[in-house]
Amino acid sequence: MSLRILIIMLAVFISEVKAQKSSYTMQGDVGLLVGEQVLPVPGVQVFNGLKIDKWSSEAGITVGADIYRQLTILPVYASIRWLPLPEKNLIPYLSFSAGYGIAWLNRGSVEKDYRGGTVYNPSVGVRIKTKTKARLNFSAGFKHQRAAFTDRRFDELGREMSVVTDEYRFSRMSLSFGVGF
Amino acid sequence: MKVFGILLSFVFFLGLSSCKDEVITTRTYHKLTPFYLSVSDLRKQAISMDKPHELSAPGKIYVYGNYLFINEVTKGIHVIDNTDPASPRFLNFINIPGNIDLAINSNILYADSYVDLLAFDISNPININLAKRVENVFDNQYIDKARGLIQGYKDTVVTEVMSHEITDNLKGDFITFNDVSGAAAFASQSYGTGGSMARFTLMNNSLYTVTTNSLKLFNVSTPKDPLFVNTINLGGGIETIFPYQNKLFIGSTTGMHIYNATDPSKPVKLATYQHLTSCDPVIVQGKYAYVTLRSGNFCRLGTNVLDVIDIEDPTKPVLVSSFPMLNPHGLTISENNLFICEGKNGLKAFNSSDPKTIGQKQLSFLQNISASDVIAGPKSLIVTGPNGIYQYDYSNASNLKQLSHLDLIAR
């Protein structure tokens, strides 16, 4: 768990540094993934992108971490945002991200194998300008993420006796708060 | 802003209506499916010679002269020309339904076929003939003796797919389940050599076979004409039998029984060395017996050790030393070398010159094979396992050299 948190913090830090020095835009978010009959789980993500003033949009890459009970997924996806009223202090926006969730942070073995899967995350949000360069973001959306876990059982002579594969399809409401520059 | 308010509401609605986690679980496993067979129908089937088959599910193995006889579980016996252990050659296959065990005496191969004992003349390995069938000697296999029915099992691969919603009641834990369910020469006769897992053995013109709870005794003084003598009740959990100097060492899940077979037709129990409930083949050399105990699915409590037992006085076996092992299966001893199969962990060789410290004198450890039983043959060390039959040059036990590998076809 501590390794997971360390890697997540590192990713956030690197992204922050990169965003400060150029015309790139970035946004770091923390949030919850909420579902029916399950406890909310935490998620973080960092968007690094480019402003496209002509279309009042931002496009870039989002990386993150979603810590489900069953496994931790690192989603890496392409993101696009549309901010139709950039001049306002309260800027509504639409966002859509789609990509692949990586399962590298889970400890695999000969017997246990984790695989990631597709992920997409449409959301709406508001951006609040502040007196500094920073801006605050609140968003709500829907996140669908796939992953799989395979458990192989062997007898005492190493013969494979059973294979159990669980294909997870997580469908959660995503609620997040973040800071961008 | 109004549009965004509507969109925000839509997202919440979408979220509330479809935010359910789902898991689709696919289980693939081997299952032994029971089926019923009529013994009379089985006997009508000709016991035939067939062209060589590939190894699929090898069981017991027997060395006789330049030949290997390898049981294909419940199917029959592979006959292999092992004149050159570096290049063994499949000669033919004997179709024997229900065959599990075998032993060879003076060119006569004894093999079980469900409830019957068969005797084959193998003096010409190219043209093996059935010499005799002794009927109904393994009658413990009948499920309905009056109707002549036995139960067989077919290994079936089953795949099940199911899906369900994940809730925190289920805790999202991974679904697990237990595995389903479900192989010397004495007197004037010439015997072959079986492994430590053998349930058939030959000594003093007699064929001794063990079932799970009894010893079945045959007079084979006329090899072609085995005669059933009697059944001796042994209690439950019987696994293996090993002959040594007019004694029978019988491995069971609870201990090692020692029988005096000086009178071949009337073995007399001398003692039982008891141990934890465990799977335990046994071999004997000089005044020591070597027993491996292992844990596993079918071995219940189980522990993983090599026990060395002083049997100088066979009426009072005494544990001399015990050494931890990984998951010991079959074993064999040749001169001053003890070889122990460690299941999927490999094969170990020990210097056995001092049995009391044998576990501390490991000579080599082959970790790239999975080994279930081993025979120190005249030409090679023969190791059986789920990945086939390996043969090694064991002239130097510290440096075993692989001579050949008979691979398996996929299950």
**Shortest Cα distance, chain B CAs vs residue A146, angstroms:** 10
Is the confidence at residue B293, as pLDDT, over 80?
Answer: yes
Do residues B339 and B373 make contact, with C-beta atoms less than 8 angstroms apart? no
**Shortest Cα distance, chain B CAs vs residue A18, angstroms:** 31
Contact A142 B8 (CB under 8 A): no
Which residue type is seen at A164? V
Tell how strand B381-385 and strand B388-393 pair up.
Answer: antiparallel
What value does the mean pLDDT of chain B take? 85
Closest residue of A to B171, CA-based? A69
Q: Which residues of B touch A141 (CB under 8 A)?
A: 11, 15
Find, among A118, A78, A83, the residue nearest to A96 by Cα. Answer: A78
Of the CA atoms within 13 Å of residue B59, those in its CB half-sphere come to: 17
**Shortest Cα distance, chain B CAs vs residue A172, angstroms:** 5
Sign of the Cα pseudo-torsion (B85, B89, B95, B98, in order)? positive
Report d(CA A127, CA A24) in Å as an integer: 17
**Shortest Cα distance, chain B CAs vs residue A67, angstroms:** 13
Q: Which residues of A touch B176 (CB under 8 A)?
A: 151, 164
Enter the pTM of the model.
0.69
Report pLDDT digits (tens) over B147-194: 889 887 777 788 888 888 888 754 444 333 333 333 333 345 677 788
- Please give the radius of gyration of chain A, using alpha carbons only, rounded to the nearest integer: 19
Count Cβ–Cβ pairs < 8 Å, chain A vs chain B.
133
3-state secondary structure of A88: coil
Q: Which residues of B touch A56 (CB under 8 A)?
A: none
**Shortest Cα distance, chain B CAs vs residue A119, angstroms:** 14
Closest residue of A to B11, CA-based? A141
Report d(CA B96, CA A65) in Å as an integer: 60
Is the confidence at residue B378, as pLDDT, over 70?
Answer: yes
A164 → closest Cβ in B11, B27, B372 = B27
In B, residues 18-57, which contact A (CB 8 Å cutoff)? 18-30
Find, among A47, A46, A57, A51, the residue nearest to A24 by Cα. Answer: A51
pLDDT of residue B112: 94
ipTM for the whole predicted complex goes beyond 0.85? no
Report pLDDT digits (tens) over A30-79: 999 999 888 999 999 999 999 988 888 999 999 999 999 989 999 999 99
- On whether any CB of chain A is under 8 Å from the CB of B159, the answer is no
In this structure, the number of other CB atoms found within 10 A of the CB of residue B71 comes to 25
Q: Which residues of B touch A89 (CB under 8 A)?
A: none
Which residue type is seen at A28? G
Report pLDDT digits (tens) over A87-111: 888 999 999 999 999 998 887 777 8
pLDDT of residue B152: 76
- On whether any CB of chain A is under 8 Å from the CB of B303, the answer is no
